[in-house]
Amino acid sequence: MKQITILGSLNIDTTLKIDRFPLPGETVEAINKSSTAGGKGANQAVAAARLGAKTIFIGCVGRDSSGEYLIEALEEEGIDTANILHDEEAGTGTANILLDEAGQNSIVIYGGANRKLTSAQIQAAAGQIATSEFLVAQFETSTAMTLEAFKIAHQKGVKTILNPAPAHEIAPELLRVTDLIVPNEIESRLLTGIEITNQTSMEQTAAAFRKMGVNNLIITLGSRGVYYAGEDQSVLMPAFKVKAVDTTAAGDTFIGALAAKLNSDFSNLAEAIKFAQKASSITVQRLGAQVAIPTLAEIEEN
């Protein structure tokens, strides 16, 4: 069984369903409210585990009931939680999600304990990182700790996947130990300054990331599909046509599914992207984050 280590966030997601997003200064009434287990890292771990990978998680929660709930949710998926620590001061992370009738969302996160990862914690997980095929990380935790973990992976020949979300400036040193970067189109524009409108702008974006030091790029483009650019090929793969109900965990499902399916030498990349797209297309037809992520059996049935 493939082993994947995910370094990332654990949040309590509170979703407010609304008719439309409020204008600046405007108050709107929520149609419904719900709270579930979430966090980009945790969502990606659940996707990887449900789709057949042995999954190890590195993270941090508060010493509170929310933190215990999030750990239990991962353990129910068979995810190794031994590397999740409890911070005695910061509370467990939270995400507040506005979800409109079209299934689009806006999210505000509070990092809390997610920002309290330590170097000692990363070093304690070094052995498991070294025996993994992929190490995956996002930007809802400390980038300094991500860099330390990626360096360990790089030294051991373990492939690294970076999901630069929420997008912010990336240290060149981190990019040099990143094998594959997976932003969405908004994150890609924020990182490169290039708006993706056509094939030319996609190629310009790939060139910009290569200049930064990353040779393998996947951009998720929502209903337009997925663009991949590597050292010797580039391709735009169309999206599965479905009616989106909630896009909250779409990107996380894609990344977790991709890591679960992809060979470490990237030899089955097209197949892995299509598999991840199919998983994500199922997720967006359901409400919620982790509860919406499909199992391997569900993907095989569709």
State the catalytic residues: 252
Distance of alpha carbon 118 from alpha carbon 148, whole angstroms = 10
Residue type at 54 in one-letter notation: K
63 assigned ligand-binding residue: no
224 assigned ligand-binding residue: yes
11 assigned ligand-binding residue: yes
286 assigned ligand-binding residue: yes
13 assigned ligand-binding residue: yes
- Enter the DSSP assignment of 162: E
Total Cβ atoms within 10 A of residue 33: 9
42 assigned ligand-binding residue: yes
Provide the token pair at 265. Answer: 């030498």
41 assigned ligand-binding residue: yes
222 assigned ligand-binding residue: yes
12 assigned ligand-binding residue: yes
In the chain, beta strands by DSSP E: 3-7, 11-17, 32-38, 54-62, 80-87, 93-99, 105-110, 134-137, 159-162, 180-181, 217-220, 226-229, 234-237
Cα 8 to the center of its chain, rounded Å:
8
The widest CA-to-CA distance across the chain, in whole angstroms, is: 52
179 assigned ligand-binding residue: no
223 assigned ligand-binding residue: yes
Report yes or no: 11 and 114 within 8 Å, Cβ to Cβ: yes
C-alpha triplet 293, 296, 300: angle, nearest 5°: 115
How many CA atoms lie less than 13 Å away from 11 in the CB half-sphere? Answer: 28
251 assigned ligand-binding residue: yes
Secondary element (H or E) of residue 200: helix 199-212
221 assigned ligand-binding residue: yes
225 assigned ligand-binding residue: yes
220 assigned ligand-binding residue: yes
Distance of alpha carbon 144 from alpha carbon 245, whole angstroms = 36
Annotated binding site: 11-13, 39-43, 140, 184, 220-225, 246, 248, 251-252, 283, 286, 288
Annotated binding site for substrate: 11-13, 39-43, 140, 252
Annotated binding site for ATP: 184, 220-225, 251-252
Annotated binding site for K(+): 246, 248, 283, 286, 288
